[in-house]
Chains A and B, each alone.
Chain A
Amino acid sequence: MILDTVVLTLQLASVTTLILLVISPPLAWWLSRKNTWPRSFIEAIVALPLVLPPTVLGFYLLIFFAPQSTVGGWWEALFGVPLSFSFSALVIGSVIYSIPFVVQPLQSAFQQIPNTLLEAAASLGASPLDCFVSVVMPLCRRSFITAGCLGFAHTVGEFGVVLMIGGNIPGETQVLSIALFDAVERLDFATAHLLAGGLLVFSTLTLLLVYRLNPSRVGPEISQ
């Protein structure tokens, strides 16, 4: 029972982190290089999950995911199963909820890459994509690891969004933080201690790893 929940939580965090590591680099790159009105707007949207109560986000997602809504309707027509109260709904919710934790470290690392290096690479014949893969990514290697760790840990630790859109179905949508809430409600303090302690140790270790990787700051390894 606890094992199922642990496996499900790790699955959710892994899938979410993978998706975030695909969509965040281009987004963070765009945010780091442009200084226009749309940039500030997108930046604000990306940062919204940091300040918004998770229940607000969860509430709107719940509305969007409902079978009678446009998004929920399309999903059901496309995949034949309802979106709400499914693992897929949790993944979508988690991606939105954890995106600032992945985008922001990448963005600040990208901003510290001197333009002169990108110009030199372009002048030597490297296309923008080549330049990103051969120059930017190696220089920001640590920030990629940091971003992945933070995204993963934050997804493991989420509660409000999952509670709103997941529906607490064991083996399907019940993750650790919800199982903890359940255990406390049932006054099952032995289980609660186990879950709370486990999450505490996991989060501490993750942050320890992040700070070991970045002794002084989050950013690319460029010494001038």
Chain B
Amino acid sequence: MTLIARGVLQPHNTDEASGTFTFADQTSTVLFGASGSGKTSILRAIAGLPSAFVLSQLTHRGQSLLTTPTHQRPITLTAQQPALFPHLSVVENLRFALKRSKPAPDTLLDTVIEDLGIETLLERSIVALSGGESQRVALARALLSRPDWLLLDEPLTQLDRKARQQLTGHIKRWQNQHEFGLVYVTHDLNEALSIADQVILIDEGRVQQAGDQDLLLSLPSTHSDLEGRIIVATFKTHWSEDGLSELSVSNHPIFLAQQAMLTEGQAVSIYIAERDVSISINEPLDTSILNRLPVSIQAIEADNHSSVRLVLALDQQVLFARITHRSLRKLKLQVGDVVWAQIKSVSLQP
């Protein structure tokens, strides 16, 4: 019970064997790859729209969809640029999808509206929406069309990190509740981590690697636009009088704002943005920053004019620090040095 798409990305490729994408029913797959790797083309081909990815096979639950016209495929694609209908208001756009979907419970519309936080936009005209608002509405519309397969092509790019985190949580929950398959294209490692059951790395329309979330964590940093890293920690204890929760990363304490739902011994993912990490040669004891980890410098990536990214390792885990060229020179940092990473803020991943 899967969706299988096989084809080649023209003009790069004529080898079909490596262009076979298999998506298991009711699971979510993240397509991950650089710009131009064919992610969007693959989604468009599956949806039945003109595409450089030429399909030779498209099978859904054992039936071929190859010649089925777009509107009859049990598939909804939401493009990166939300194509909302400008002659309809926000709520009319949502009803457009609802009217053409499988029979739905009456409460569905209200639930979607509430989940996506668009209650105040309903009567607005499409042209009066910001980029982020449009993406929320487009996502709501796609969810309301209740397909067997939902294809989302970078659906949250115009939203801030907090909203992205919240919405990926909702998408994931919808996917579980409503039992559809999800194929999700993103450049953002955080989004990928909160969505993926399965991860497929793509290059030139070919499957480079397929696997679970661990695949994402092992990626070299050049693979993503991520400006931070996610590391795994274990929950230790609450410090209620300070409003903090204590986690442990390789036996070093990490504090963050109290998270009441955590239980002792629970493994959690935390996100550390590279801009929140600074470097000290000696252990910084007289500082207000609570979180510090001894790390070794694995690489120094001079990726722009004013600053460098340090790739820091602590046991098997990796985090980034963004520092200036000037600091790099002043501290005479080199690959292999052991230094202290001071971490200004840490956030919990869903």
A contact set with B: CB distance below 8 Å: 114, 116-117, 119-128, 130-131, 134-135, 138-139, 221-223
Taking a contact as CB atoms closer than 8 A, the residue among B48, B81, B86, B141 that contacts A124 in the complex is B141
Q: 7 shortest A-B CB distances, which residue pairs?
A: A125-B100, A120-B83, A116-B83, A122-B70, A138-B87, A122-B71, A123-B77
Contacts of B81 in A (CB 8 A): 116
Are A119 and B83 closer than 8 Å at their CB atoms?
A: yes
Which residues of B246-277 have CB atoms within 8 Å of chain A's CB atoms? none
Chain B residue nearest to A136 (CB atoms) is B87
How far, in Å, is A158 (CB) from chain B's closest CB?
34
How far, in Å, is A25 (CB) from chain B's closest CB?
17
Which residues of B53-105 have CB atoms within 8 Å of chain A's CB atoms? 69-72, 75-79, 81, 83-88, 96-97, 100-101
Are A125 and B71 closer than 8 Å at their CB atoms?
A: yes
Taking a contact as CB atoms closer than 8 A, the residue among B70, B85, B142 that contacts A117 in the complex is B85
Are B127 and A117 closer than 8 Å at their CB atoms?
A: no
Tell yes or no: B145 within 8 A of A by CB.
Answer: yes
Chain A residue nearest to B138 (CB atoms) is A120
Contacts of A121 in B (CB 8 A): 71, 85, 96
Are B85 and A135 closer than 8 Å at their CB atoms?
A: yes
Chain A residue nearest to B88 (CB atoms) is A138
Are A114 and B101 closer than 8 Å at their CB atoms?
A: no
Known: A119-B70, A134-B96, A138-B87. A124 touches B76 (CB 8 A): yes
Contacts of B72 in A (CB 8 A): 125
How far, in Å, is B92 (CB) from chain A's closest CB?
10
Tell yes or no: B302 within 8 A of A by CB.
Answer: no
Extra A-B contacts (11), CB below 8 Å, given A122-B70, A124-B142, A126-B71: A116-B83, A119-B77, A119-B83, A121-B71, A123-B47, A123-B71, A123-B145, A130-B100, A135-B85, A135-B87, A223-B86
Are B79 and A125 closer than 8 Å at their CB atoms?
A: no
Are A124 and B75 closer than 8 Å at their CB atoms?
A: no
Chain B residue nearest to A138 (CB atoms) is B87
Are A124 and B97 closer than 8 Å at their CB atoms?
A: yes
Tell yes or no: B49 within 8 A of A by CB.
Answer: yes
Known: A119-B49, A123-B49, A125-B145. A139 touches B86 (CB 8 A): yes
How far, in Å, is B150 (CB) from chain A's closest CB?
10
Which residues of B130-154 have CB atoms within 8 Å of chain A's CB atoms? 141-142, 145
Give Cα A26–Cα B235 distance, bound, in whole angstroms. Answer: 66
Contacts of B78 in A (CB 8 A): 120, 123
Are B79 and A120 closer than 8 Å at their CB atoms?
A: yes
Give Cα A185–Cα B123 distance, bound, in whole angstroms. Answer: 62
Which residues of B274-313 have CB atoms within 8 Å of chain A's CB atoms? none
Give Cα A121–Cα B142 distance, bound, in whole angstroms. Answer: 11
Are A124 and B87 closer than 8 Å at their CB atoms?
A: no
Are B87 and A139 closer than 8 Å at their CB atoms?
A: yes
Contacts of B87 in A (CB 8 A): 135, 138-139, 221
Give Cα A123–Cα B149 distance, bound, in whole angstroms. Answer: 11
Give Cα A134–Cα B97 distance, bound, in whole angstroms. Answer: 12
Give Cα A116–Cα B81 distance, bound, in whole angstroms. Answer: 9
Contacts of B48 in A (CB 8 A): 122
Residue of A121, A123, A128, A222 with highest tally of chain B CB at under 10 A: A123
Taking a contact as CB atoms closer than 8 A, the residue among A122, A125, A222 that contacts B86 in the complex is A222
Give Cα A127–Cα B81 distance, bound, in whole angstroms. Answer: 22
Give Cα A134–Cα B87 distance, bound, in whole angstroms. Answer: 10
How far, in Å, is B205 (CB) from chain A's closest CB?
20
Contacts of A126 in B (CB 8 A): 71, 96, 100
Are A123 and B85 closer than 8 Å at their CB atoms?
A: no
Chain B residue nearest to A117 (CB atoms) is B83
Contacts of B141 in A (CB 8 A): 124
Give Cα A120–Cα B80 distance, bound, in whole angstroms. Answer: 11
Give Cα A118–Cα B273 distance, bound, in whole angstroms. Answer: 40
Chain B residue nearest to A118 (CB atoms) is B83
Could you jot down 9 A-B contacts, CB within 8 Å?
A: A116-B81, A116-B83, A119-B70, A122-B70, A123-B75, A126-B71, A127-B71, A135-B87, A221-B86
Are B71 and A116 closer than 8 Å at their CB atoms?
A: no
Chain A residue nearest to B151 (CB atoms) is A123
Residue of A114, A117, A120, A121 with highest tally of chain B CB at under 10 A: A120
Chain A residue nearest to B73 (CB atoms) is A123
